[in-house]
Structures are given as C-alpha cells and as structure tokens.
Amino acid sequence: MDLKELEQQIRAFVLSNFYVADEASVTNRSSLLEQGVVDSTGVLEIISFIETTCGITVEDDEMLPENLGSIDSIARFVSRKQAGAAPVPAAA
C-alpha cells in the first residue's frame, strides 16, 4: 500500500471513529491531540487499528507524537515499519 492509500485509510478511520465537528479542519498534518480529535485512549485505538489493519506492531518506545500525532505521521510511521526501516527514535 502506498503512502496516499495509507493516509486515506487512516483518515477514514479517524473521521468515522472520533467526533470531528468540521472534517475539513482536520488536515493530514493537523495534530490530532492538539485539535482534541483524540485523547490518550484514542491513540490506543489508532494503534490497535494500524496493528490489525497494517500488520505491524507498535512498540512502547514508538508511541510518540512524531509517529502517531497526525494522519501524515501515522502513515509515514506505518510505511517505515512495513518496509522494515527503523522508526523515529524517542527524543533525548
């Protein structure tokens, strides 16, 4: 699956599973946490979705805004994981 398809799939999941008053306000680069679209429980739901749908495992040290903060970052993270590339490391 290419990056655009991943973004579309993740966007569809987010918009159908979380309350979004104005779908147009959620861009692929919008921070889902800062906009209040998801909370910590919502992040766990997204992780469950991408693990089940995309066949990856999200490790505890990968649960970072850099990997899971926006539709764009989630898609790039999943793409890297599927390709076997190293994920974005935790900031020191």
pLDDT of the residue at 1: 75
CATH number of residue 66's parent domain: 1.10.1200.10
Could you report the per-residue pLDDT of 5-43, keeping only the tens digit for each?
Answer: 999 999 999 999 999 989 999 999 999 999 999 999 999
Instruction: Give a yes or no: residue 92 inside a domain.
Output: no
pTM of the model: 0.87
Question: pLDDT at position 68, please?
Answer: 96
Q: What is the pLDDT of residue 14?
A: 97
Q: How many domains does the chain fold into? A: 1
The model's confidence at residue 89, banded by pLDDT at 50, 70 and 90, is low
**Which residues span the domain enclosing 62?**
3-83
CB count in 10 Å sphere of residue 91: 7
- Residue 69 within any structural domain of the chain: yes
